[in-house]
Structure 1
Amino acid sequence: MLTHLKLDNFKIWRSTGAMRLAPLTLLLGTNSSGKSSLIQSLLLIRQTVKGDDPNLDLNLGNPDANDSVTLGQFSDLLCRHGDVSGSIPANQVGIEFRWNEGADLTMSTLFSARYRKGPSGSAELDYLRLGRDGEGFTVERRKTGIYRLWLADKRKAVGQSADYRPQRSFAFSPEAIASLGKRGSSIESVGPALLHELGKVIYLGPVRRLAQRDYVWSGRMPAHIGDDGAKAVDALIASGVAIEQAKKRNKPKPPEAELFDRTIDWLKAMNLADGLEVRALGRSARYELLIKNNDESSNLKDVGVGVSQVLPVIVAALFAQPGHIVLIEEPESHLHPSAQSELANLFAEVSSERGVQFIIETHSEHLFRRMQTLLARQTVTREDCAMYFVERDGRRASLRPLEVDEVGRIRNWPTQFFGDALGETREQAKLAIEHAKEMRAKDG
């Protein structure tokens, strides 16, 4: 689970300060305030670490390679607004986060990196600290291509060499490990630990794949659902087919049936559907997904767009395994208010039951209000929930941690958080009084 995030000179953020990440983290705020940048920083490191080019210190993204984020060049990444951060030089970008794999929060691992402008607009690693406190390694750029290396928390450096430049900002080459002899074994597993943690990240973007009339299914459960949820229906088809095959063989439902059944449960809770059905189209590999309502079945393509947009959200939550980290932007897209409220129940239930972390960027007042209710009921504890309001003052972004009391109320409520509801009520009352006066005048 990610427990801490800090950005310096990253896009609109001059500095976020240390940001606590909880099992349930909500990011709220106005458009273009910097909410998405918080998620993008994590995706940026994920695509760098999981890439295959050892010469890329930071993979800023290539749209032709289906990267999760495409951020242009280093100059596009570097913040040029607001006051200069005291943490790092103004010409560098800093990304830092911590994670822990168990319940002991003291056994956390730190990734802290700084980047400067490299050749042809690329990003070049300037500093990296990776590992648990008292373990791992630190490297610092001395000059182009040359890095000084420290092991664990030793004050004396091992030395400096071109071999000590970490590949893809996280791991050393086999030659570098071999050159360290016995000391190499102490850091050999540090980089793969980061790769393993970021491999747990499931990301679902704000623009999700629209419904298709039918789907070509590979015959297996997909390994992932895709950043746009393109494989969410494939996962449901795999689960639904497994149920049908078990019925034909008069056998109990297999474990993969849970995804199909629980998706139906949440669609019912959101008042979006009474059920689902998977139908094979002849003997081909094509299948259609049918939505059941009032004893009628309709193709997914023929029902409201809200259903096709929320299915990847539900599947992403239920698809996640214990320890996974689910990042979702605008899960409420195209949903009616009560369905938006149920999303809070979905995230809270899956997080509690299966140990899944959710980091949610949302504009939904209804999702937020339900989370307040869950806090008031103590279904969700204040330790397990962190909520932030991201606001923008001119060209400067700032992060406001929302202070929640024991009954879910916000102590530091931002001005016009979800618009001016009280002002709207006053205006409506004023206009109603004026209208009544006009009607009385007409009646003499």
Structure 2
Amino acid sequence: MEAPNSRSQRPPGHESSPGSGCGGYTRRFTLGGALVIGSAAANRIRIREWIVENFKSIEHASTRLPPLSLLAGANSAGKSSLLQSLLLVAQSDNDSIVLNGPLVRLGLAGDVIRAGTDHCAVGAVVRARLGESQKQLSDVAFRIELKNADGELVVHALAIYVDDEPVIEATSRGVTTSRLEELNLGRAGGQTILRIREIDGRRAPSRSYVGFGGLGPEAFIYRVQTEDRVKDLRRALRSPDRYIRMQTAIELERQIESEEWDLPEGSPLQNASATTIAAWTPEEIDAAIQEIQSFIPEVESVAVQVARTSYAIASSRRSLGYQASSPGIAKFVRALRALGIVNDTLRTIRTSARYLGPLRSEPQVVSRNVGSTRNLPVGARGEATADHLVVQSRRTVRYADWTGAIHADPLEIAVSKWVHYLGIGDSVTVLDQGKLGRGLRVLVDGNERDLTTIGVGASQVLPVVALVLGASRGDLIMIEQPELHLHPAVQSRLADFFMLARADVHLLIETHSEYLLTRLRLRIAQGRFRSRDADVLYAQQVAGVTSIDPLSISELGDLSHWPTGFFDTQDIDGRDLVVAVRAKLDAADNAPSD
């Protein structure tokens, strides 16, 4: 079996020098194992490390997201909590932090925060382009702290570092209810407001805030003086960019109409439309601004909507031409871009996460047309596998087979080829029975059979194969216990599938299968899979506290270390078997003869 071409074509890994991360975390990662998100090269973000703190039983965990991660550990050791931290992000939206949703049900906030602590936190270290030129890559580390508020999780603090230097530190301390109402700005400020304590390592200007919608930063809020406001308006109206002039003119027209300004006779603002405003001469702009100054408050709070490349502006009155390049905003551009990267990272986890739970549906002749969702393409239990294959039937997927050869086939054919290699059938088809539902059929020894006649294993592994092969480039696929009901030989071949089929996705596999690990080690030792493209994460719990230990695999297939209790049952039983046999033989030798 040859390694697939797509593996050898991956960019070489770049070892990062150790450094302090967000909140003092130590970073250990390689660029080759980063999760790349975003389509345009200039806007790509690489998630180099995912960070969890005080989440359920996990005290602290940090892991990179290479093409393949195996998450192992004893039952109830807390290993699934790492997946659940990502699923929490994936099912939350711009409006709320969703504790109980379609991907995971976590109960109340008190059930999520580790016992004995008053907060939990999620964060990441990402590689992104932050500068004006969009050429220089920076490490952006962030940590979002969450607290319990009447059974719900709310954002309590935020810290962002760029190349180990602090950019933003904010907290909810000192933010009163009246201040929240004042800063809401027609919801432009978000649902949760944090007061910014530091910007770029210096004390932040008075009354600077960051607003959150759900888990993500939504707006940067600061105070602006009339003088700065007027400068920005004049600059926008005189801009050589027609789009900037027109957008400013539209906002100005709306404000004149909504606030019913008391304008003097002959004012250039009377009956002014966006079109006429955008065409004003410099003299007309100066005359209009003289009048507008009297309607602008002396001090005003402005909310800059967070985005990576542009900034939409809202204020306690209305926007009058604020742009990302305006003098009042320019000094905060680095902080704004960092906030945008945080928001993009969380949003992309939401859009790229794909999940399959540990309990698959029982085999059925025909399954109901349940449909699928973005994060659950085959359903949480695999119940939408047939629907997924039908919906994606016209889609061509690019994948590698077990020899490393690259193919581009319809999804159903790709699934059939790998099902044949796994040894559970020759091909797979879907029988559509209209409103009754759809049924999966597997060709076995020349006979087409439904899932109820070929054993449970096929119904358990088909959703796994369909989910991975049907994923989009860059997806983060989380699967729990894919080895259920599978023969050891099939489990080993399933490891080949995870290693080879899709080089362009990221797999986080929670498993109890020693066969998966052994096959992974073998392929690395054979030189057929790169050691840096895989991690083994071992979860163990002591006194109710879970630690997740990253184990690297050498080029010889050996683990960096073997924690106590890590897949050692066979060794222990084998040793005990030898001792037991030796004891019986000794007893027989020492038995008195008749």
Output the TM-score relative to the length of structure 1.
Answer: 0.80
| Distance in structure 2 (CA, Å) of the matches to 1:345 and 1:189 | 38
TM-fit CA distance, 1:302: 2.6
The aligned counterpart of 1:84 is none
The aligned counterpart of 1:128 is 158
Are the counterparts in 1 of residues 524 and 555 from structure 2 also a CA contact under 8 Å?
yes
Are the counterparts in 1 of residues 50 and 63 from structure 2 also a CA contact under 8 Å?
yes
TM-fit CA distance, 1:167: 0.9
Pair 1:79 & 2:117 matched: no
Select the structure of larger CA radius of gyration. Answer: 2
The aligned counterpart of 1:336 is 487
The aligned counterpart of 1:252 is none
Are the counterparts in 2 of residues 403 and 410 from structure 1 also a CA contact under 8 Å?
yes
Q: Which of 534, 542, 545 is matched with 1:396 structurally?
A: 545
Matches within 5 A, 1:308-323: 308-323=459-474
TM-fit CA distance, 1:390: 1.1
Specify whether residues 222 and 30 from structure 1 end up closer, same or farther in structure 2 by C-alpha distance, changes over 3 A only. closer
Specify whether residues 412 and 152 from structure 1 end up closer, same or farther in structure 2 by C-alpha distance, changes over 3 A only. same
Are the counterparts in 2 of residues 128 and 169 from structure 1 also a CA contact under 8 Å?
no
Question: Higher mean Cα deviation, 143-152 or 24-33?
Answer: 143-152
Are the counterparts in 2 of residues 3 and 20 from structure 1 also a CA contact under 8 Å?
yes
Are the counterparts in 2 of residues 217 and 237 from structure 1 also a CA contact under 8 Å?
no
Q: Which of 96, 106, 112 is matched with 2:143 structurally?
A: 112
Specify whether residues 257 and 231 from structure 1 end up closer, same or farther in structure 2 by C-alpha distance, changes over 3 A only. farther
Matches within 5 A, 1:132-147: 139-144=170-175, 145=180, 146-147=193-194
User: What is the root-mean-square deviation in Å for CA atoms of aligned residues?
Assistant: 3.5
Are the counterparts in 1 of residues 363 and 459 from structure 2 also a CA contact under 8 Å?
yes
Q: Which of 513, 520, 537 is matched with 1:364 structurally?
A: 513
Where 1:380 maps in the other structure, the secondary structure is: coil
Specify whether residues 257 and 350 from structure 1 end up closer, same or farther in structure 2 by C-alpha distance, changes over 3 A only. closer
| Distance in structure 2 (CA, Å) of the matches to 1:336 and 1:158 | 64
Are the counterparts in 2 of residues 71 and 77 from structure 1 also a CA contact under 8 Å?
yes
| Distance in structure 1 (CA, Å) of the matches to 2:161 and 2:451 | 47
Q: Which of 171, 176, 192 is matched with 2:303 structurally?
A: 176
The aligned counterpart of 2:569 is 420
| Distance in structure 1 (CA, Å) of the matches to 2:75 and 2:525 | 28
Q: Which of 13, 38, 41 is matched with 2:82 structurally?
A: 38
Are the counterparts in 2 of residues 241 and 278 from structure 1 also a CA contact under 8 Å?
no
Question: Higher mean Cα deviation, 127-136 or 400-409?
Answer: 127-136
| Distance in structure 2 (CA, Å) of the matches to 1:241 and 1:324 | 20
Are the counterparts in 2 of residues 240 and 278 from structure 1 also a CA contact under 8 Å?
no
| Distance in structure 2 (CA, Å) of the matches to 1:151 and 1:356 | 37
Where 2:98 maps in the other structure, the secondary structure is: coil
Where 2:547 maps in the other structure, the secondary structure is: strand
Output the TM-score relative to the length of structure 2.
Answer: 0.61
Give the length in aligned residue pairs. Answer: 408
The aligned counterpart of 1:96 is 123
| Distance in structure 2 (CA, Å) of the matches to 1:266 and 1:130 | 44
Pair 1:305 & 2:456 matched: yes
Question: Higher mean Cα deviation, 144-153 or 3-12?
Answer: 144-153
Where 1:335 maps in the other structure, the secondary structure is: coil
Are the counterparts in 2 of residues 221 and 238 from structure 1 also a CA contact under 8 Å?
no
Are the counterparts in 1 of residues 141 and 162 from structure 2 also a CA contact under 8 Å?
yes
TM-fit CA distance, 1:380: 2.2
Question: Higher mean Cα deviation, 412-421 or 266-275?
Answer: 412-421
Matches within 5 A, 1:277-288: 277-281=429-433, 286-288=437-439
Specify whether residues 414 and 108 from structure 1 end up closer, same or farther in structure 2 by C-alpha distance, changes over 3 A only. same
The aligned counterpart of 2:529 is 380
Q: What letter matches 1:214 in structure 2?
A: V
**Structure 1: stretches of 5+ with no match in the other structure:** 82-89, 244-254
Q: Which of 136, 153, 157 is matched with 2:200 structurally?
A: 153
Where 1:160 maps in the other structure, the secondary structure is: coil
The aligned counterpart of 1:233 is 386
Where 2:474 maps in the other structure, the secondary structure is: coil
| Distance in structure 2 (CA, Å) of the matches to 1:100 and 1:308 | 39
